[in-house]
């Protein structure tokens, strides 16, 4: 397989992961194909995912050529995400998780890529990133200004001295994000080399697809299982850990009733969706980001709908 063909295939997997995530319904408290927010629509997410093909392709091509340059691609991706639709931040967390994965897939010998090999290359990609990547990534986050970011005591993306300190102390992305493993899902995944993506989300997707034979049902069930086992960090930042745990317990209850695979379970999922939509704080966006990265692993491995 030629380099450009491989890069296009990897980029298509990354883009499709985002499209499958937003299309899956009903994901409680989130935009999906049958529900949206007044400020952000399903079409905004489709436009955003479409705009990210270019940075995903460049990331994959860089990996094929043995080059790691994540920071500048994060900047490109955030600029395109915001310029291609008017719904605000749609995919910041997802693109931060999936862009390094595209580079790691490119660094692998062939395509499709075995998940164990993909994770091994991801570890290399994360270690290679430099202080310049940290600065580019932080400036991109500040540019997007995602909801629920909040003030932090160290390396706040909105404070000028943060960038001075990054340059002075030569702070790499992993060095910067290790302070926020429990606060942010991207920090958690980068520092732990995507532990939740590979050990939870990807495995649940495989299990559910094998069991249900229905892709939408499998994706929503996997979403619920991720949320049940890992309190959503976006909900936690906006409403506190107790509310995040409440959301997780509701997801666990829906799973116990059968999730999307039973009438009672589906009714419970729909009830969750209604309850979550009553408050901006109850939007499990971090779980959606994990679902995107988990779907990307599945697709890069060779799964096709």
Lowest average pLDDT, out of 81-85, 118-122, 210-214, 262-266, goes to 210-214
pLDDT tens-place string over residues 5-35:
999 999 999 999 999 999 999 999 999 999 9
**Cα gap 90→144, rounded to integer Å:** 10
Instruction: Read off the pLDDT band of 154 (50, 70, 90).
Output: confident
The pLDDT assigned to 151 comes to 65
Instruction: Read off the pLDDT band of 147 (50, 70, 90).
Output: low
Instruction: Say which residues have a Cβ less than 8 Å from residue 295's Cβ, sequence separation at least 6.
Output: 16, 17, 20, 21, 205, 219
Q: How far is CA 7 from CA 57, 105, 166, 292, in A?
A: 6, 9, 32, 19
pLDDT tens-place string over residues 93-130:
999 999 999 999 999 989 999 999 999 999 999 999 99
Instruction: Say which residues have a Cβ less than 8 Å from residue 70's Cβ, sequence separation at least 6.
Output: 59, 99, 100, 103, 125, 129, 133, 137, 173
The pLDDT assigned to 1 comes to 75
Give buried/exposed letters for 112-123 (b at 16+ CB in 10 A, else e): bbebebbbebbe
Instruction: Read off the pLDDT band of 83 (50, 70, 90).
Output: very high
**Cα gap 273→279, rounded to integer Å:** 11
Distance of CA 131 to the CA centre of its chain: 22
Average pLDDT score, the chain: 95
**Does residue 148 carry a pLDDT above 60?**
no
**Cα gap 144→161, rounded to integer Å:** 19
**Cα gap 102→110, rounded to integer Å:** 13
SS3 track for 43-73: HHHHHHHHHCHHHHHHHHHHHHCCCCCHHHH
**Does residue 248 carry a pLDDT above 90?**
yes
The average pLDDT across 210-232 equals 97
Contact present, 276 and 282 (Cβ < 8 Å) = yes
Lowest average pLDDT, out of 147-151, 197-201, 227-231, 243-247, goes to 147-151
**Does residue 150 carry a pLDDT above 80?**
no
Class for the domain spanning 3-301: mainly alpha
Token pair of 133 as six digits: 């990547």
pLDDT tens-place string over residues 157-193:
989 999 999 999 999 999 999 999 999 999 999 999 9
The pLDDT assigned to 153 comes to 65
């Amino acid at each position: 397989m030629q380099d450009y063909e491989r890069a296009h295939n990897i980029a298509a997997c990354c883009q499709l992961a985002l499209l499958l995530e937003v299309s899956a319904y009903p994901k409680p408290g989130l935009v999906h194909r049958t529900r949206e927010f007044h400020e952000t629509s399903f079409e905004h997410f489709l436009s955003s995912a479409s705009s990210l093909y270019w940075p995903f392709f460049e990331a994959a091509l860089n990996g094929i050529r043995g080059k790691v340059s994540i920071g500048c691609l994060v900047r490109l991706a955030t600029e395109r995400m915001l310029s291609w639709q008017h719904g605000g931040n749609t995919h910041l967390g997802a693109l931060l998780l999936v862009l390094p994965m595209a580079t790691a897939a490119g660094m692998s010998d062939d395509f499709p890529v075995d998940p164990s090999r993909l994770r091994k290359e991801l570890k290399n990609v994360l270690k290679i990133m430099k202080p310049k990547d940290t600065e580019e990534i932080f400036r991109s986050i500040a540019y997007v200004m995602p909801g629920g970011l909040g003030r932090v005591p160290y390396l706040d993306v909105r404070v000028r001295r943060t960038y001075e300190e990054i340059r002075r102390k030569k702070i790499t992305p992993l060095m910067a994000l290790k302070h926020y493993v429990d606060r942010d899902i991207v920090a958690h995944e980068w520092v732990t080399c995507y532990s939740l993506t590979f050990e939870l989300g990807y495995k649940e997707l495989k299990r559910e697809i094998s069991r249900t034979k229905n892709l939408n049902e499998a994706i929503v069930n996997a979403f619920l299982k991720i949320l049940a086992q890992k309190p959503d960090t976006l909900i936690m930042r906006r409403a506190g850990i107790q509310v995040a745990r409440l959301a997780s317990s509701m997801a666990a209850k829906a799973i116990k009733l059968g999730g999307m695979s039973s009438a009672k379970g589906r009714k419970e999922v729909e009830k969750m969706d209604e309850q979550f939509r009553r408050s901006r704080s109850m939007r499990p966006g971090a779980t959606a980001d994990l679902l995107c990265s988990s779907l990307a692993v599945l697709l890069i491995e060779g799964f096709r709908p």
